[in-house]
Structure 1
Amino acid sequence: MEYRTQIIKTLKSLVHTRNLLFGNVLNIATAGELRDIMDAFEEGDSYDFQLEHVADLKDPNIKKLVHLIKQVEELYEEIKDTNNILSEELEEQETGEDSDNTDEWQGELPF
């Protein structure tokens, strides 16, 4: 497999990893500090949580995970910029035969 293709796959893996970590942060937060807020929602309600919504929580585990997520985001940008990877290339890779089932992938940085 070509080097550039491997870099693109790595970028997609970083997006997937970031999304998994963020999901874990939300699960911890909604079981802890955000529990009261979650009680206000009814079944079927949805809310588009962003990293900013949990960044100031007091839970030390959440703080560490938020820090890690920010590092993953920075690494993504650094690798993308260092290798001059275009958004179009990321989208092409996703629709190609080598797709790796990262269903969160949007082509653009999704965070």
Structure 2
Amino acid sequence: MLRGGASVEDETWLTVKEAALFVGVDVQTVYSWIRRGHLEVTGLDHRGRKLFRHLDVAKAELTTRTRAKRLLALHDHQRARSSRHHIGCSDVISRSEGLCARRKRQKSRQSS
């Protein structure tokens, strides 16, 4: 019998590490799900490690991935909208220096 009144025989239980491997994420992601309320600890094993039902882990993964896809789609939509607004503009962000191309050109003109 696990603490919290649950029984090992009732369901498949996963530790934090097993949950991370089960859904293909990092252990810190599982702790983040717990902290944010996406995943509830449903028991403790004999060593005091947190245990989760495998179904709860799958639901947390689905919820967070769905939300991430929604945010990514929103970001892509905003980026597409802003690029349509600036057609022909060469304001491409320089990843190495973090400045836009126009600013770099302006800086070089000012220094000449």
Q: TM-score, normalised by structure 2?
A: 0.31
Q: TM-score, normalised by structure 1?
A: 0.31
The structure in which a higher percent of residues are helix is 1
The structure in which a higher percent of residues are strand is 2
Greater relative contact order structure (CA < 8 Å, 6+ sep): 1
